[in-house]
Amino acid sequence: NAFALPGGPVVITRGLLLQIDNESQLAGILSHELGHINARHHVKFLEKQLALSMLLQIGSLLVPQDLTGEILLQLGQVSASLLTLKFSRDQEREADKYGFLYAFEAGYSPHGMIEVFEKFKKMEKKRPPEWLSTHPLPESRIKETKEYIATFKPTGILIKDTQKFQEIRNLILQTKESYEYVENGKKAYKNGKRGEAKNLFEKALELYPKNTVASIYLAKLEMEEGNLNKAKEYSEYSLNYDPNFFTANIISGIINFKLKNFENALKFFEKGKSLIPFNGISYYYAGRTYEEKKNFNLALKNYEKALELGPKNESWYKDCYYRYNKLRGF
């Protein structure tokens, strides 16, 4: 799948990258998503949904004992509301038209979009009925794109593929087994099989040392077992490869909080705010840290922002509400 985030970034999943063959196909997919953004198809939907859900749910790590266990850490799992975001067929057609124009103007062969639609046609039997109800039939999209091409009559040298794209695709193929171990490890973790999960994450890291999802899960496991220094090593290892990994920053902040390294903890929580500013969890943890430092004014400000952003259905939200009102004297 592919989807857009507030502010313009477009995300494409590893699974979809493995389905495409060249860079012009990738350009067509990304341009289609940009078409949704510029046509403002999803603005209202996202404004509502992103206030109610978290991209990564890790809220049970610092809350009181009676609240822990309500939410399991789900690393790398993109918000389901974004992945299942449905547009009307007319909106999909409009995004196709914009996508064709953007890809063409960027110098890519417009035939890449046709190739993607042909792949969708082959996958039709595997897709659920609701997908077919919200997307134009691939045959229609192929026909309409060919009409666009006939209208614009593209000439000159257009990009079909690049060596860089193939290098990235090959890397994804080479690391596929490592990420499969991660998925199995996440299932084992969810089912309470901690030893099995740990072995699977270690195997994933052995196969691909830059697998930051595996290393941050190992950090969480070590932290939950009270091995804070070992947990710190894994979280720092993860951030070494990906400093902008949101969950790694939050986990690192929590570990430092537990080690009473409050200044370091705040650096990670502040980084979390900058990475996902519409998520209240970073503000909640920053508030906890300021409260420990006896800086109650900043604690209140962060708690207030966390409560404003939510989401209200997360376990940390209840604790945040309690602490906010306690500091205010209620």
Is residue 12 helix, strand or coil?
strand
Contacts of 47 (CB under 8 A, 6+ apart): none
Burial 190-201 (b: 16+ CB within 10 A, else e): eeeeeeebbebb
Residue type at position 163: Q
- Cα(22)–Cα(15) distance, integer angstroms: 15
**pLDDT value of position 142:** 87
**pLDDT value of position 144:** 87
**pLDDT value of position 89:** 79
Count of Cβ atoms closer than 10 Å to residue 99 Cβ: 25
Is residue 2 helix, strand or coil?
strand
**pLDDT value of position 166:** 94
Full-model pTM: 0.72
**Backbone dihedral angles phi then psi of residue 11, each to the nearest 5 degrees:** -110, 135
**pLDDT value of position 252:** 97
**Token code pair at residue 116:** 């993607």
**Token code pair at residue 8:** 């313009």
- Cα(216)–Cα(236) distance, integer angstroms: 9
- Cα(324)–Cα(169) distance, integer angstroms: 48
Contact indicator for 95, 138 with CB cutoff of 8 Å? no
**Token code pair at residue 125:** 């039997």
Q: Tokens 């979390």 correspond to what residue? A: 272
The domain made up of 176-328 has a fold known as 1.25.40
Q: Residue-wise pLDDT tens for the chain (330 aa)?
A: 777 665 667 778 888 888 899 999 999 999 998 888 888 776 645 554 554 443 434 444 444 444 433 333 333 333 444 444 566 778 888 888 888 889 988 999 988 999 998 888 887 666 555 445 556 777 888 888 888 888 877 677 899 999 999 999 998 899 999 999 999 999 999 999 999 999 999 999 999 999 999 999 999 999 999 999 999 999 999 999 999 999 999 999 999 999 999 999 999 999 999 998 888 999 999 999 999 999 999 999 999 999 999 888 888 999 999 999 999 986
DSSP single-letter state for residue 78: -
Q: Tokens 């650096």 correspond to what residue? A: 267
Burial of 263 (0-12, 13-18, 19+ CB in 10 A): exposed
- Cα(290)–Cα(301) distance, integer angstroms: 10
**pLDDT value of position 56:** 39
Please give the torsion angle defined by the CA atoms of residues 275, 281, 283 and 285, in that order, rounded to the nearest 10 degrees: -110
- Cα(15)–Cα(9) distance, integer angstroms: 18
Sequence ranges of the domains in the chain: 2-42+85-169, 176-328
State the number of CA atoms in the 13 A half-sphere of 34 facing the CB.
14
**Token code pair at residue 163:** 């060596």
**Token code pair at residue 9:** 């970034």
End-to-end CA distance of the chain: 47
Contact indicator for 231, 219 with CB cutoff of 8 Å? yes
